[in-house]
A and B are shown apart, each in its own frame.
Chain A
Amino acid sequence: MVGLINNWMTQAEASLDDSKQPSWLQLKRQTAQQQLQQLDDPSRTLELWRYADVSRLSKSLNSVVAPSQSKSADSGETDLLIVLNESGYTCIGQQPEWLTIQSLVEMAAQDWQDITFDQETVVNLANTLLVQSGGLITVKTTQQPVHIKLVYDFADPEAWQYVRNHFNIAGGTKVHITEQHQTGRINAVNVYRLAAGAELIRQQDIQLNVAEQFVSYNQFDTAQNVDVVNMNHHIGGSLQHHHHVVNFNAERSKYKSGSINKSFDDNNITDIVNVNHHFKYNQSDVTHRSIAKDRSQIFNNAKAYVAVGADQTEIEQDLKNILLSPDAKIFSKPELEVYTDEVVAAHGSTIGALDDTVLFYLQSRGIDIEQSRDIMIESFEREALVC
């Protein structure tokens, strides 16, 4: 069988000498190509792919039915709607003065963030090799908080779309960025660079139908006094794989995230958060609430690394999981890797069914069993709502 790496290589050949792309980008892609030649195809032996069926990445999605109806690309409460599709970023309506957008072709080489992908993150490395769309979005304002919604809306449901988004958030800027999936089979790498005093609320809303797939790697790099709130909704899909990496690159910043993962049928969802406390006085607080039904699987984890000398670090990891059927599986184990003494850390994880005594209590007041379950699940999810 021809492996995934081979597929990626073949696909890249057609576009590697794309004269429309700047030479620095072609060089990055060639480097990724060389790196990939040294690596093995992703498989269950990888920590990050242990509890998902990685072979689905290369399967045809011919079972794709209509796109999920509940999604709508309206701007809602937002100040700006940006649609990303085969022809790049499009602002719907007037582009505000606090925002600039540059496509991959337009952006400067030094604005591209190199990320060290390795065997574990080989699927994200493919993103560098095959990147076609994305670019740089810069937000700079000292006014009110602004709200941007970025919608993935690719016409082709079958072909993988390799998307690289760089978000530069200027010092003191308060911004809320919602990333939402509408259509398309996406492999995205998102880099959020936050200058001193920036405040980011980032929302990832990935709700997929049974056949759809979405892979994302999300990196947050903070200067000092930065505040990041990261709210994730991951619902359904043949395969969802999300990896969040937070790098505290200075002191006194906060990262708070909430993830709600819900799987049905034979969905595979992976949601990993790695927080790297490289410096002192940073706080991270990670909450996951996951619910698996039918034959689906969820792998969700939080790992915090605290470097030597990164004193006064505060870490919280709270992972709770509910299994709604005997065939569903969830794996979750918070991890700490600490190389200093002055750390306050709390972590816990549980996996179980819905509490029978609560379920009966609700029913005994006249609420039928289905609604009682819904109420319990809703309140469980609410614990992970961070914004």
Chain B
Amino acid sequence: MLKVDNVFAKAGEKEILKGLSLTVKPGEVHAIMGPNGSGKSTFGNLLAGMPYVTPQSGSVEYMGKDLLSLEPAERAAEGVFLAFQYPVEIPGVNNMYFLRTALNAQRKYRGEEPMDSAQFLRMVKQKIKDLNMRDDLLKRPVNVGFSGGEKKRNEVFQMGVLEPKLAILDETDSGLDIDALKIVADGVNHLRSPDRSFIIITHYQRLLDYIKPDYVHVLADGKIAKTGDKSLAFELEEQGYGWLNK
């Protein structure tokens, strides 16, 4: 599904990713942990096509395509979804309108018929139920005045509606209370399927109690420094990242 090969990339003027390689197969869940500033968000942003992140060398193959040559909107329509570490507020743009526009733009790209508002409403109602989302939030402008946790849940809700093939969750668990954490985990588990993959960036192994990862990676200084299974997350939580350098 995704093959990242020896990627070097800058965030702004700064070299951040320094030889990152990672392969994700369909249906797999990969957790990425690592110290602050190690480049985790930069990696997620690179995959989604954030203009501040500029690849220098290496390659990213996604479902047989050269991912880095696609526009951000094309990547989304091809099934890449990034849940932002800091979701953006969009004043004046209603959540429902935004989501329907996004979904129909993706459908159009894929040559599918647009969803009319009745169909869309029905689908969204079901997702609201599935994801235990507060429906009044959907009538408001995107993320405006949402609490930190509400913003994160809105990211997961968007993921639920857009049904991506590769979802990257950048610290979606940070700042969530325990109930919200379960809802987010449920959202992910609900979508898990043999043809869908997840990259979950997190600082806490507790999320991994709810979403069982196939692999846990440590990203340090711009590359994958260690790969293991869930027990690696426990080790990191107990010992921190210091021992990695030894």
Binding site for B on A (CB under 8 A): 356-358, 360-369, 371-372, 375-376, 378-380, 382-383
Given pairs A365-B102, A367-B105, 17 additional interface contacts (CB within 8 A): A360-B88, A364-B49, A364-B72, A364-B81, A364-B84, A365-B76, A365-B98, A365-B158, A366-B73, A366-B76, A367-B73, A368-B71, A369-B71, A369-B72, A375-B101, A383-B91, A383-B92
CA distance A277 to B104 in the complex (A): 50
Chain A residues lying within 8 Å of B76, measured Cβ to Cβ, are 363-366
A-contact 0/1 string along B96-113, CB 8 Å cutoff:
001101110110010000
A366 touches B50 (CB 8 A): no
CA distance A363 to B73 in the complex (A): 5
A380 touches B72 (CB 8 A): no
Max chain A C-beta neighbours (<10 A), residue from B48, B77, B105: B105
Q: What residue in chain A is nearest B141 (Cβ atoms)?
A: A379
Q: What residue in chain B is nearest A361 (Cβ atoms)?
A: B88
B49 touches A367 (CB 8 A): no
A-contact 0/1 string along B44-87, CB 8 Å cutoff:
00001111000000000000000000011101110001101001
A-contact 0/1 string along B143-182, CB 8 Å cutoff:
0000000000000001000100000000000000000000
Q: Kindly state whether residue B90 has any CB partner on chain A within 8 Å.
A: yes
Tell me the smallest distance from the CB of B26 to a CB of chain A, in Å.
21
Chain B residues lying within 8 Å of A380, measured Cβ to Cβ, are 92
A-B contact pairs, 16 of them (CB 8 A): A356-B51, A358-B88, A358-B89, A361-B84, A363-B72, A363-B76, A364-B49, A364-B50, A364-B82, A365-B102, A365-B105, A366-B77, A371-B105, A379-B92, A380-B92, A382-B92
Q: How many A-B residue pairs have CB under 8 A?
A: 76
Tell me the smallest distance from the CB of A358 to a CB of chain B, in Å.
5
Tell me the smallest distance from the CB of B220 to a CB of chain A, in Å.
26
Q: What residue in chain A is nearest B106 (Cβ atoms)?
A: A366
Please give the number of chain B residues whose Cβ is less than 8 angstroms from any Cβ of chain A in the complex: 31
Chain B residues lying within 8 Å of A363, measured Cβ to Cβ, are 49, 71-73, 76
Tell me the smallest distance from the CB of A245 to a CB of chain B, in Å.
30
Chain A residues lying within 8 Å of B72, measured Cβ to Cβ, are 360, 363-364, 369
CA distance A375 to B101 in the complex (A): 10
Residues A360 and B51 in contact in the complex (CB < 8 Å), given A365-B102, A366-B109, A368-B71:
yes
CA distance A372 to B88 in the complex (A): 14
Chain A residues lying within 8 Å of B92, measured Cβ to Cβ, are 378-380, 382-383
Chain B residues lying within 8 Å of A379, measured Cβ to Cβ, are 90-93, 141
Chain A residues lying within 8 Å of B162, measured Cβ to Cβ, are 365-366
Chain B residues lying within 8 Å of A366, measured Cβ to Cβ, are 73, 76-77, 102-103, 105-106, 109, 162
Q: What residue in chain B is nearest A370 (Cβ atoms)?
A: B73
CA distance A369 to B101 in the complex (A): 13
Chain B residues lying within 8 Å of A378, measured Cβ to Cβ, are 92
Chain A residues lying within 8 Å of B71, measured Cβ to Cβ, are 363, 368-369
CA distance A33 to B66 in the complex (A): 73
B101 touches A371 (CB 8 A): yes
B103 touches A375 (CB 8 A): no
Chain A residues lying within 8 Å of B90, measured Cβ to Cβ, are 358, 361-362, 376, 379
Chain B residues lying within 8 Å of A361, measured Cβ to Cβ, are 84, 87-88, 90
Chain A residues lying within 8 Å of B84, measured Cβ to Cβ, are 361, 364
